Structure 1
Amino acid sequence: MADTFVSDFQVRSLAGEPCAAVSVRNLSTNLYAASDAWGRKCTVAPQPCLISAEVHFKQPFGTAAANDQLGADTVHYGNLSKAILQRMKRFTVPREQEQEQEQKQSGNGNGDHSVQENNNNNFSLAYVIHDLWVGLTGWAHFGSVKEEEKPFLDISSIRFLSLTVTLPKASLLGDGVSMTCSQFFKNGPGEKMRENLISASLKIHNLKVPTLVGVNPHERRAKQFVVTSVNVERYFRMDDYYSELEGVVVKALEESSYETLEALGAHLAEKILEPDHRKDHTKWQVHIRMEKPTAVPLADCPIVEVRAGYGFPAPGRPATS
């Protein structure tokens, strides 16, 4: 399965510039699923959740543009929002209540078995976005959720689809955690759909960590904030790894004594890609973005970005003293 994954940049590049698109950004709900900022499963108390969907079509808007009426050449953003929220209902109630509802439905012969439980009845962020993908497209983006016969979207008319689920409170020192799944639909419905390019990524947004970094004498005397975002592309783990990942990044930043962001970024990439942290996922691509808000007085911040991992040469850096 890992060989079918590419980066989100590659998927978007192959899909090309859309001739017509419909999007919904930051649709808000709550979530009795995934882990919180401390790595605890949110099965008793919910956490806020934001959902974004981006749909690119193969053809320009025809009926909708010519007759000012919605047709098969588009998707109503209101109905798209309702479909997303309806699918997410299974994760917006405590797990105990959902099990009671499932038992009642099962007793009537109308149970919905498209969502298969984890062994511990706790759903991860990856599982949530994966199940949402199934509800909208009718088939599994990755994992083992059962495919459905009547999805919300007509995949035959769609060229590109991207879903992002964001947990704004799932980071201790950052602006949240998100997972994004995207696909370029080169082929139509059926088995050949699995030949289409797909991407999945996990991102921690804007970690604010006091860090000793800089080449100037005054920067060696005290720590300054470095705002760091880490995006792991080609990500296909089904567990909640982001709390552990944040710990790895924060520890490396707090222990830094580098003079340049370039060297610090290379060090961060090495730490994230160590086998102990990434387990057997040797095909990750890591994108690290670092900002120093106080470094340049007349600018918002200087920014340095580093990419490493699968498909990228190992970044060189000076040895630590």
Structure 2
Amino acid sequence: MGNLYCGISDIGHVTNEYLRKNPSVTDPDDARIAEDWEDEEAQDDEEILTSSKKSLAHYVVFVNTLHLAADVGPDCWGKSRLQPVEISVYLHLQSSFLTAAGQSDDVLDSVHYGHLSKAISAKVDRSSFNGIEKLVAVVAEEAFALAGEAVTEVRVVANLPKQILLAEGLHVDFTISKEGATPAARRVSVVDLVLPVLIGVNPPEREAKQRVITNIVFHERPGDRPLSAYPQIVADIVKNIDASAYLTLEKFVLEIVRTACLASDEIDSVTVRSQKPSALSFAHSSGVEITRRKIDFPRT
């Protein structure tokens, strides 16, 4: 009984303290409710902070831009032959490995990126694959085999600089988890597609075409299947642009987004970023970026 009395006294003391600090609150019941809310908010804040601290610990071993040659299908001239392939691979490892490798300063406690690059080169260089996605699968397989139980997921980025005739490259970016055999994320990017376009509202812009640099990011649905025919998709986009003229970049970009979203059933969303290097005298460029999902463009 004494314990219960002390508990009631403590509650009353806390409530009186809250009323003293918050003179606008006059009802003790309201004060108790407000105290409960504050306690719950403080607990939520602590849980969020704890969760964020846990998520900060991560450990990635990577090889950036390994230059190789492989036959992954037709190049920008439609010929199946060896073409340059630039491969980057990121091994996301268990956070406990960070502690061991960081404290011991011993390469044996980590994943040897030298061995990783040699293993990838041996499997990929001057080899033939039925599509770039098959090459990515081989790279991921080598990464999982080398890292063993330490790895949680592998991200592979392959750049084909000779795949799109008017662009700097075609990037294929897959993330594959250890639990799933199929890629959890599939992203394809057309990098720096340069096109002459009749665009702008000023009189000189209506008389001559100017360069427009466009980057397109396609987000595909997860799965293990051939990639969409991106060289043909880009060719269709270029054909549409050549036959049109625009007053604004907004119209230009949105038209590319629409065409790209509807180009394949496998494409879920598209981001297009276009810029005009000649628009402003003392700036690199002016630009517009738009992201849309396929559902934003219902088929008619």
Q: What TM-score range do you get, normalising by the shorter chain? A: 0.7 to 0.9
Alignment of 1:1-321 (within 5 A): 19-42=58-81, 46-59=82-95, 61-72=98-109, 74-89=110-125, 92-93=126-127, 123-137=130-144, 151-154=145-148, 156-183=149-176, 185=177, 193-194=179-180, 198-234=184-220, 237-239=225-227, 241-274=229-262, 277-278=263-264, 280-281=265-266, 283-310=267-294, 313-314=296-297
Rate the CA distance shift 1:195–1:128 in 2: closer, same or farther, 3 A: closer
Give, in angstroms, the shift of residue 163 of structure 1: 0.4
Give, in angstroms, the shift of residue 262 of structure 1: 1.3
Aligned-pair Cα RMSD in Å:
2.6
Q: Over residues 88-147 of structure 1, what are the superposed CA-to-partner deviations in whole Å (9 max), with x where a residue is unaligned? A: 14xx14x6xxxxxxxxxxxxxxxxxxxxxxxxxx6111222123223322xxxxxxxxxx
Amino acid at match of 1:179: V
Amino acid at match of 1:21: V
With the length of structure 2 as denominator, give the TM-score of the two structures.
Answer: 0.72
SS at the partner of 2:290?
Answer: strand
Query: 1:125 & 1:284 partners in 2: Cα distance?
Result: 20
Rate the CA distance shift 1:164–1:197 in 2: closer, same or farther, 3 A: closer
Give, in angstroms, the shift of residue 202 of structure 1: 1.8
Amino acid at match of 1:300: H
1 or 2 for the larger relative contact order (CA 8 Å, sep ≥6)?
A: 1
Contact 1:34 1:240 in 2 (8 A): no
Partner of 2:23 in structure 1? Answer: none
Contact 2:116 2:142 in 1 (8 A): no
Give, in angstroms, the shift of residue 242 of structure 1: 2.2
Contact 1:35 1:240 in 2 (8 A): no
Give, in angstroms, the shift of residue 84 of structure 1: 1.3
Query: 1:128 & 1:233 partners in 2: Cα distance?
Result: 19
Contact 2:174 2:183 in 1 (8 A): no
With the length of structure 1 as denominator, give the TM-score of the two structures.
Answer: 0.68
4+ runs deviating over 6 angstroms: none
Q: Over residues 132-182 of structure 1, what are the superposed CA-to-partner deviations in whole Å (9 max), with x where a residue is unaligned? A: 223322xxxxxxxxxxxxx1222x433442101111111211101121101
Structure of higher CA gyration radius? 2
Contact 1:207 1:227 in 2 (8 A): yes
Amino acid at match of 1:135: E
Rate the CA distance shift 1:239–1:65 in 2: closer, same or farther, 3 A: closer
- Identity %, equivalent residues: 25
Query: 2:57 & 2:171 partners in 1: Cα distance?
Result: 24
Rate the CA distance shift 1:233–1:239 in 2: closer, same or farther, 3 A: closer
Give, in angstroms, the shift of residue 225 of structure 1: 0.5
Aligned residues: 242
